[in-house]
Structure 1
Amino acid sequence: MAGTEFEQAVATVGDLADDPGNDTKLRLYALYKQATVGDADGKRPGFTNPVGRAKYDAWTKISGTSSEQAEADYIAEVARLTQG
């Protein structure tokens, strides 16, 4: 059941009318990656890739979070955004 709710939340983010801002987008990205991939691995992107670096940093910040918890947090964040 949670998987379906998570997939619906992911679809909802794509349909948001208003830009939630970079901080929120980075948090959603990190939660999505943690839920679907697990802890971040690989090298941190260099200073010439500031977007990749910000994404990597956001993801590593929540390392150790279970995929189930990351899904629940993602769903809660999307619910907060859509309650407007």
Structure 2
Amino acid sequence: MKANTLEEAVALTKKFTSRPSNEDLLKLYGLYKQATEGDNETERPGGFDFKAAAKYNAWLNFKGLSKEEAANQYLELVNKLAESHL
């Protein structure tokens, strides 16, 4: 099974039978946010909310990437992960 659109890719991740690594999950999150919202202009979360800080930084890693390119990279990553997590 291969996803061809952002929506199909999101649906495909919900069918994964095993959990990708935290690194891959953060990359997926960052690419998805960049693809759907563009550059991260939100306020940095507080110092002790480590999960929110990790997500914030994951999104920030893709600053300047176009929404289209972020969507393409998201699709590539989901399709690659699907090979070992479906």
Summarize deviations over 1:15-46 as a string: whole Å, max 9, x none. 11110011000000000000000100121111
Equivalent in the alignment of 1:76: 76
Runs of 4+ with deviation above 3 angstroms: none
Give aligned-pair identity as a percent.
40
Partner of 1:29, secondary structure, is: helix
Equivalent in the alignment of 1:52: 52
Equivalent in the alignment of 1:32: 32
State TM-score, norm by structure 2. Answer: 0.89
State TM-score, norm by structure 1. Answer: 0.91
The alignment yields a C-alpha RMSD, in angstroms, of 1.0
Distance 2:40 2:23 in 1: 18
Distance 2:24 2:45 in 1: 21
Distance 2:62 2:71 in 1: 12
Distance 1:13 1:47 in 2: 30
Uncovered stretches (5+) of structure 1, i.e. residues with no partner: none
- For these two proteins, the number of residue pairs brought into alignment is 81
Q: Is 1:62 matched with 2:59?
A: no
Q: Which structure would you say has the larger RCO, counting Cα contacts within 8 Å and 6 or more residues apart?
A: 2
Distance 1:22 1:37 in 2: 22
Partner of 1:83, secondary structure, is: helix
Deviates more, 1:59-68 or 1:4-13: 4-13
Partner of 1:9, secondary structure, is: helix
